[in-house]
Amino acid sequence: MGEKVLVKDYMARNVITVKPETPIDDIIKLMRETGHDGYPVINENNEITGFITAFDFVRCGWKDVAKEVMSNNIIVTQEDMSITDTSRVMFRHGLSRLPVIDRNGKLTGIISNTDMIRSHIERTTPNKVESFRKTLEQLYSIRPTLKRMKVRIDDLRPTQDKIYADELQGRKHELERGLAEPVIVAKTGERWILIDGHHRVVAAIKLNHNGVGAYVIDLNKNVKLGLERTADKSGIYTFDDLKIIDDDQHQLISIIENMKRGKQKDEIDKY
């Protein structure tokens, strides 16, 4: 599980681009519609020729098309470059995002500071997977194998009874941007038991996705897991059985909001 983390593992693949001849009026309209303040400029061969931001409009004054105001001297990263090396480049140059190209120079994605933060947070996931694999090994005296693959959602059995609407919305947003966060699945016999990642799977269902990326721990044996027994007792067999909690926010958010309310009460009490 010590493989190098690459840019292509965390970059957004659904990139909005413009052409050198795209009118500035159209780009401003696009910025209003998407909320993004900058786009890669590509030619007919999907090669990046520049980058245009709202700041370029101020810097260059009013012009007619993208090529008249876009920045030509741009920094890019390759999809096979390590996350660590790319983050160093972004930090040294004070950049919030970088276009990503393949070995042929074609634009394949874009990576942002947010994606960098995600990559560092999710590096704990392999440790979580390995810890769970070792636990199964000790509990059931088996030698499970581990691989990363795409799993059909219809094959998955959930093991928790509720998810939170606010976190679900965040997962939908990530999936819409093309981000790939793996779930954790245990394969026992012919059953695929979802261990971790219920919010992402439900988000994928709502977006009409057929599968999700996963770390799959294959027990190579038909073992009834404790998580399955608990799900049986709770009547959790499909994702339709999960409750989506709208009015009960994630615990951390609730704590923060309670702290804010406490601070506001303290301010009132001063008077």
pLDDT of residue 121: 61
Mean pLDDT within 78-88: 90
Per-residue confidence at 245, pLDDT binned at 50, 70, 90? confident
pLDDT of residue 62: 78
The structural domains of the chain, ordered by start, are 7-120 (3.10.580.10), 122-251 (3.90.1530.10)
- Cα 64 to Cα 160: distance, rounded to the nearest angstrom: 55
Nearest to 67 by CA among 49, 44, 85, 55: 49
pLDDT of residue 69: 93
pLDDT of residue 165: 87
The full DSSP string for the chain is --PPPBGGGTSB-----B-TT-BHHHHHHHHHHH--SEEEEE-TTSBEEEEEEHHHHHHH-S-SBGGGTSBSS---EETTSBHHHHHHHHHHHT-SEEEEE-TTSBEEEEEEHHHHHHHHHTTHHHHHHHHHHHHHHHHHT---EEEEEEEEGGGEE---SEEEHHHHHHHHHHHHTT----EEEEEETTEEEEEE-HHHHHHHHHTT-SEEEEEEEE-SS----HHHHHHHHHT--SGGGSEEESSS--HHHHHHHHHHHHHHHHHHHT-
How does pLDDT run across 136-179, given as a tens digit for each residue?
Answer: 888 888 899 999 999 999 999 999 999 988 888 888 888 887 76
Mean pLDDT within 125-133: 79
pLDDT of residue 187: 96
How does pLDDT run across 178-215, given as a tens digit for each residue?
Answer: 765 789 999 999 999 999 999 999 999 999 999 999 99
Question: Of residues 205 and 133, which shows the higher confidence score?
Answer: 205
Question: Of residues 135 and 159, which shows the higher confidence score?
Answer: 159
Q: Are 147 and 214 in contact (CB under 8 A)?
A: no
Is the per-residue pLDDT at 126 higher than 90?
A: no
Per-residue confidence at 253, pLDDT binned at 50, 70, 90? very low
How does pLDDT run across 35-55, given as a tens digit for each residue?
Answer: 888 999 999 999 999 999 988
Per-residue confidence at 270, pLDDT binned at 50, 70, 90? very low
Question: Of residues 181 and 234, which shows the higher confidence score?
Answer: 234
- Cα 194 to Cα 32: distance, rounded to the nearest angstrom: 39
Question: Of residues 49 and 120, which shows the higher confidence score?
Answer: 49
Nearest to 240 by CA among 214, 192, 206, 209: 206
What's the whole-number average pLDDT of the chain? 85
Is the per-residue pLDDT at 254 higher than 50?
A: no
Mean pLDDT within 86-97: 87
Is the per-residue pLDDT at 85 higher than 50?
A: yes
Is the per-residue pLDDT at 14 higher than 50?
A: yes
pLDDT of residue 125: 67
- Complete edge-to-edge strand list for the sheet that includes strand 211-218: 145-152, 211-218, 183-188, 191-196, 156-157
